[in-house]
Chains A and B, each alone.
Chain A
Amino acid sequence: MDLITIAFYFFAALTLGFGAVVVLSKNIMHAAFSLLFTFFGVAGLYVLLHADFLAITQIMIYIGGILVLIIFGVMLTTRITGVDVKSGKVGIFQLTGAIVLTLSIALLLLFVYTNTHWYQPESIPMESTAELIGTTLLTRYLLAFEAASILLLVAIVGAAFIARKKH
């Protein structure tokens, strides 16, 4: 098997494995850290899909930003002193419902994915996409770009307001 398939299976295993850990582990801290490796796995997949710029942004923002935020969230909302760092499971009824539902959705998606022929015209992969992304971002998707900036501003103002202690 050539290098690419090995890399694919490695990164896929990485993401799915640690994704399962995130979801199933009792301890919230273990979940948070395993999330790190999941994001790495995903970044790897991006590289295989010739989305190199994406992989970097994934690492920078997801791991650098969101993961840190989540870890902060975990630490702030669980009493360090208290032993109970673990996060208990939800009631049985809900659990079984959840399992059944997620399995059926997964199967459905697999079934759908496997036998729809997707829009796959022939095209040769390009080396670096960064330059292309940059230009399209500022030309065709300019408005989306600006809207995203407004969204971020709103998020900052809102988050700051909510998190601020009463003055």
Chain B
Amino acid sequence: MTQEVILFLSITVLLVPILSFLINIFFGDRLGKLSGVVGTSILAFDFLIAATIAFNKLVTYADLHIIQTKFEWFSLGSFKVIVGYGIDNIAAIMLLVVTLISFLVHLFSTIYMDGDRRFPKFYAYLGLFTFSMLGIVIANNFLMMYVFWELVGISSYLLIGFWYEKNSASNAGKKAFITNRIGDLGFFIGIMILFMTYGSFMFEDVFAGIASGQMPFNNPTMLTLAGIGIFMGAMGKSAQFPLHVWLPDAMEGPTPVSALIHAATMVAAGVYLVAKVFVMFTADALSFIAIIGTLTAFISATIAITQVDFKKVLAYSTVSQLGFMIMSLGTGGYTNGFFHLVTHAWFKAALFLAAGSVIHAMHHAMHHMHDHHSDPQDINNMGGLRKTMPWTYRTFLFVTLALAGIPFTSGFLSKDGILAGTLAWANLTGGWHWIVPVMAFSAAGMTAFYMFRLTIVAFHGEPKTEIARHTHENKLPIVIPLVVLSILSIWFFYAPNPIDATGGWFHKMVVQPQSAVPAAYQWDFLLPENGGHDVIQAAGHGETAQAGGHGYLNKLQEESHHFHYIAMALSLLIAGSGILLAFLIYQYKYISADKLEARFKGLHTFSLNKWYFDELYNSTVIAFMMLVSKSLAWFDGTVVDGIVNLSAQVTRFAGYITGIFDNVVIDGFVNLVARVTEYSGGQLRKLQTGNIQSYIVFVLAGILLLLFFFIL
């Protein structure tokens, strides 16, 4: 299959979902139920195309860095806006991830969303989302990336606020969109800095420009700033530390939406962007990214521990895992980061779909029991679902293991790789950098703890409420996606050796590109090993990259290889103790949760209220914005216009004293000058006393004044 055919296919893979969007928007009402089938089949077809592209790229064109093309979107006379699209290894893999999960979610929603009044609209919005996500995947320039970035934002707004009757849903949608927009603002500023210096949006031109040593405003800190700006876009989308507040609220949307968007694809877009432009980040930018990633991972892990809502726990776990991926990229673990992204996509989607099936079951049970007020998502109402929903339980258990990072699962491979990477990174950089691995390991431990807390409380033990007792397994279209995704979480798909992933095809395919930033501003340990055989895969020029063998790219890889086993032992130990703790507290109740809660009262409420971030933001940033806008609007309404009304009062007061007004119909005259003229006119008219002799006196006075005026 020639390159042209691949490029043609990649355009079709992009446009096919738009077809589903258009069909469902315009003919949705007529299709009704059928729109689900149409949507799912379109997505299946799309997945097939994506598979062929991925297969061809990874196999026949493995050595070619990127197959890409560019075309002119519009021209401004002297300057042409060039955009384009291309497939490189990580794009190919992402294509697979996005299309497969989207297809599975489409399948899942045929049942889950069944009976909803705006069923066709839901599929339309899913189609729009997939289209914009694929746009991000195949874009090879900043402008198109930004365009689809915003389109993804708007489709997530539409999907979160799908049940807009509920005010909380549309508020959540609005909150998501605005937080994303703040991130996009940073992203756009980053693009502006780069465009201004390198005059083009194309990645290859920008990277070539950086490689040639040309700095924005010719000082390197501006390149770091541009990097951080671009990263802000990722922070917005992937819900990193300061901008993470919208993801938990996004749970207002239907669960398949959460599964597709807020677990696997959209949130991963941020990580994908960082991976795509990894070569432009300077050392400081990378360490900034690392810190943000670690903080996110740690904070959201602590919050996830105390959540009671089934989906909220998963949401915070997603934020935490994203923190892991960003941290890994920040600490130079490019391949591990991306690897974790892919593996996380599968099992997190599975977790959410499982949650969906549980909630769906709870709904049916509540309908059955005519109890409409209890919350189907609250885990305290569940329990004992192991017996009533066997298949959901089994898949849920397996993917929880993967998430916790237990061997023989893909999660273990990727998380272990990251942890090893952080240890190596900290070792090489030293000093305060050790915080990162400490936080990483404790976050990993907490992940294991809260996942198993969830499984035990929800599935094990006796059903806590009648509703839980009446739940029963769902139909096939819900169970199949669960099974497929859990299978994909087996380690076997990524590397033969369950312990060490470096041998697998994944690590061969996803090779860390050589950073374009001049050596002076890079981490030295990321510099290519001049000793070892030259494996550099120069960014962007498409030279062939020799299959890895066991040569290390740079000192960091060498170091992380040393730390591999230590990291593995440590992570197993911590994960195991996390799981043990969870069983002790919830399964066998040796340590009563309430006493623990009481002892760490402060910490517990602090974590329960999501570290008061929402309140913090509301009281600071949003309150400040509202205050400024209210005062400016008041200022404009009263002061700028008010100069008129204010002075009108003053002059009217003076006016009334000096005599009855002419019935000035347009009283509030428009500006100060107008009022002054009106007022002075009032004074001048009093000269006209009507008495002829006073006239003559004034004339004589006039003559004298003129005379003196000109004599002196």
Residue B700 CB within 8 A of the other chain: yes
Contact B704 A98, beta carbon cutoff 8 Å = no
Known: A90-B693, A94-B693, A94-B694. A108 touches B700 (CB 8 A): no
Residue B697 CB within 8 A of the other chain: yes
**Complex interface residues of chain A between 1 and 39 (CB less than 8 A to chain B):** none
In the complex, how many angstroms separate the beta carbon of B618 from the nearest chain A beta carbon?
A: 70
In the complex, how many angstroms separate the beta carbon of B585 from the nearest chain A beta carbon?
A: 102
Contacts of B691 in A (CB 8 A): 94
Residue A128 CB within 8 A of the other chain: no
CB-CB nearest in chain B for A104: B704
Interface size on A, residues (CB 8 A): 9
Contact B707 A101, beta carbon cutoff 8 Å = no
Contacts of B701 in A (CB 8 A): 97, 101
Residue A147 CB within 8 A of the other chain: no
Contact A105 B693, beta carbon cutoff 8 Å = no
Contacts of B704 in A (CB 8 A): 101, 104-105, 108
Contact A98 B697, beta carbon cutoff 8 Å = yes
- Shortest Cβ-Cβ A-B pairs, 5 listed: A101-B700, A97-B697, A94-B693, A90-B693, A104-B704
Contact pattern, A 76-100, Cβ under 8 Å of B = 1, otherwise 0: 0000000000000010001001100
In the complex, how many angstroms separate the beta carbon of A79 from the nearest chain B beta carbon?
A: 22
Q: In the complex, A147 Cα to B348 Cα: how many Å?
A: 115
CB-CB nearest in chain B for A98: B697
Contact residue among A101, A104, A108 (Cβ-Cβ distance under 8 Å from B697)? A101
Contacts of A98 in B (CB 8 A): 693, 697
Central interface residue in A98, A101, A104, A108, by most chain B CB within 10 Å? A101
Q: In the complex, A104 Cα to B700 Cα: how many Å?
A: 10
In the complex, how many angstroms separate the beta carbon of A115 from the nearest chain B beta carbon?
A: 14
Contact B700 A105, beta carbon cutoff 8 Å = yes
Contacts of B694 in A (CB 8 A): 94
5 A-B contact pairs sorted by A residue (CB < 8 Å): A90-B693, A94-B694, A94-B697, A105-B700, A105-B704
Q: In the complex, A104 Cα to B693 Cα: how many Å?
A: 18
* B interface, CB within 8 angstroms of A: 691, 693-694, 697, 700-701, 704, 707
Contacts of A94 in B (CB 8 A): 691, 693-694, 697
Contact A108 B707, beta carbon cutoff 8 Å = yes
**Complex interface residues of chain A between 42 and 79 (CB less than 8 A to chain B):** none
Q: In the complex, A90 Cα to B707 Cα: how many Å?
A: 27
Contacts of A90 in B (CB 8 A): 693
Q: In the complex, A17 Cα to B700 Cα: how many Å?
A: 24
Q: In the complex, A65 Cα to B694 Cα: how many Å?
A: 30
Q: In the complex, A105 Cα to B700 Cα: how many Å?
A: 9
**Complex interface residues of chain A between 101 and 126 (CB less than 8 A to chain B):** 101-102, 104-105, 108
Q: In the complex, A90 Cα to B691 Cα: how many Å?
A: 11
In the complex, how many angstroms separate the beta carbon of B698 from the nearest chain A beta carbon?
A: 9
Q: In the complex, A160 Cα to B330 Cα: how many Å?
A: 113
Q: In the complex, A159 Cα to B708 Cα: how many Å?
A: 40
CB-CB nearest in chain A for B691: A94
Q: In the complex, A94 Cα to B701 Cα: how many Å?
A: 12
Contacts of A102 in B (CB 8 A): 700
Q: In the complex, A94 Cα to B707 Cα: how many Å?
A: 22
CB-CB nearest in chain A for B711: A108
Contacts of A105 in B (CB 8 A): 700, 704
Q: In the complex, A97 Cα to B697 Cα: how many Å?
A: 7
Q: In the complex, A98 Cα to B698 Cα: how many Å?
A: 10
Q: In the complex, A98 Cα to B704 Cα: how many Å?
A: 13
Q: In the complex, A48 Cα to B704 Cα: how many Å?
A: 33
In the complex, how many angstroms separate the beta carbon of A131 from the nearest chain B beta carbon?
A: 40
Q: In the complex, A108 Cα to B705 Cα: how many Å?
A: 12
Contacts of A97 in B (CB 8 A): 697, 701
In the complex, how many angstroms separate the beta carbon of A110 from the nearest chain B beta carbon?
A: 14
In the complex, how many angstroms separate the beta carbon of A143 from the nearest chain B beta carbon?
A: 31
Q: In the complex, A101 Cα to B699 Cα: how many Å?
A: 10
Q: In the complex, A105 Cα to B693 Cα: how many Å?
A: 17
Apart from A90-B693, A94-B697, A98-B697: 16 A-B pairs, beta carbons within 8 A: A94-B691, A94-B693, A94-B694, A97-B697, A97-B701, A98-B693, A101-B697, A101-B700, A101-B701, A101-B704, A102-B700, A104-B704, A105-B700, A105-B704, A108-B704, A108-B707
Contacts of B697 in A (CB 8 A): 94, 97-98, 101
Q: In the complex, A93 Cα to B704 Cα: how many Å?
A: 19
Q: In the complex, A148 Cα to B700 Cα: how many Å?
A: 29
Contacts of A108 in B (CB 8 A): 704, 707
Q: In the complex, A105 Cα to B697 Cα: how many Å?
A: 12
In the complex, how many angstroms separate the beta carbon of B695 from the nearest chain A beta carbon?
A: 11
In the complex, how many angstroms separate the beta carbon of A113 from the nearest chain B beta carbon?
A: 15
Q: In the complex, A105 Cα to B696 Cα: how many Å?
A: 14
In the complex, how many angstroms separate the beta carbon of B75 from the nearest chain A beta carbon?
A: 80
In the complex, how many angstroms separate the beta carbon of A144 from the nearest chain B beta carbon?
A: 27
Q: In the complex, A71 Cα to B528 Cα: how many Å?
A: 127
Q: In the complex, A105 Cα to B702 Cα: how many Å?
A: 12
In the complex, how many angstroms separate the beta carbon of A101 from the nearest chain B beta carbon?
A: 5
Q: In the complex, A92 Cα to B700 Cα: how many Å?
A: 18
CB-CB nearest in chain A for B689: A94
Q: In the complex, A101 Cα to B693 Cα: how many Å?
A: 13
Q: In the complex, A105 Cα to B706 Cα: how many Å?
A: 13
Contacts of B700 in A (CB 8 A): 101-102, 105
CB-CB nearest in chain B for A93: B694
Q: In the complex, A108 Cα to B704 Cα: how many Å?
A: 9
Q: In the complex, A102 Cα to B701 Cα: how many Å?
A: 10
CB-CB nearest in chain A for B704: A104
In the complex, how many angstroms separate the beta carbon of B692 from the nearest chain A beta carbon?
A: 11
Contacts of A101 in B (CB 8 A): 697, 700-701, 704
In the complex, how many angstroms separate the beta carbon of A56 from the nearest chain B beta carbon?
A: 33
Q: In the complex, A90 Cα to B693 Cα: how many Å?
A: 9
Q: In the complex, A97 Cα to B691 Cα: how many Å?
A: 14
CB-CB nearest in chain A for B694: A94
In the complex, how many angstroms separate the beta carbon of B31 from the nearest chain A beta carbon?
A: 95
Q: In the complex, A101 Cα to B704 Cα: how many Å?
A: 8
Q: In the complex, A97 Cα to B702 Cα: how many Å?
A: 13
Q: In the complex, A102 Cα to B696 Cα: how many Å?
A: 11
In the complex, how many angstroms separate the beta carbon of A119 from the nearest chain B beta carbon?
A: 22
In the complex, how many angstroms separate the beta carbon of A129 from the nearest chain B beta carbon?
A: 34
Q: In the complex, A98 Cα to B694 Cα: how many Å?
A: 9
Contacts of A104 in B (CB 8 A): 704
In the complex, how many angstroms separate the beta carbon of A31 from the nearest chain B beta carbon?
A: 17
In the complex, how many angstroms separate the beta carbon of B281 from the nearest chain A beta carbon?
A: 88
In the complex, how many angstroms separate the beta carbon of B244 from the nearest chain A beta carbon?
A: 82
Contact pattern, A 135-164, Cβ under 8 Å of B = 1, otherwise 0: 000000000000000000000000000000
